[in-house]
Structure 1
């Protein structure tokens, strides 16, 4: 998938995460049921060890990608000062096939399985080019805080 600047959606409008815990650069596609994100793994990333993006980083990237589906309802207005907190409430499945290296760009595709109020179950797959790196299925909870 080729990244074109005019088609990129600012992730800051959909997730509360900031550096050094932000593991998504751009949203490439977003609907109420699915999202596609990109992330370039920088050598200084907190989840890079010996030039590899470790398992915890892949899982966090998957969770952040997935949570933007639910998070979009809190950030409908880009100028809003809404503050939210989110949690992984359940990980049903994680399959890790390969770890990417620093300097590589990964693409993730997540789909909503079910949703009830602020809790959702989402499946996500992350790729390096056409190679599947990780497949997850998790439940997430997001709520607004004052």
Structure 2
């Protein structure tokens, strides 16, 4: 649930996403909480896939083990564009802790910390 990767490196991935009325997470003209959580998760996955493509390897399968410190200050509306950044905080073997932040019109509207486990290929 992203439109494009804006930037990606070893520490951070940033994506953009234009919210359409047809989106499964839109209700009453707003993009709901589960959509924001999914957008952060898919930005993390896209960054991992992008890095795998650069290394000419198959992208690993990832599993979300935990979402915590979820903070949603505002729900965006249909027609808004989200800019989502995932920052790697810590890695221990195949377990990653990342922080997701979503901006809408330059203002932070949501953030969360994810624990993600990657399955080795």
Higher RCO by CA contacts (8 Å cutoff, separation 6 or greater): 2
Alignment TM class, shorter chain as reference: 0.7 to 0.9
SS at match of 1:42: coil
Q: 1:43 aligns with which of 16, 21, 26?
A: 21
Aligned to 1:32: 10
User: Alpha-carbon deviation of 1:130?
Assistant: 1.7
Aligned to 1:57: 35
Aligned to 2:118: 142
Aligned to 2:97: 121
For structure 1, the residue ranges without an aligned partner over 5 or more in a row are: 1-22
Higher strand fraction (1 or 2): 2
Pick closer, same or farther for the CA change 1:70–1:121 going to 2, 3 Å.
farther
How high is the TM-score relative to the length of structure 1?
0.74
- Alignment size in residue pairs: 121
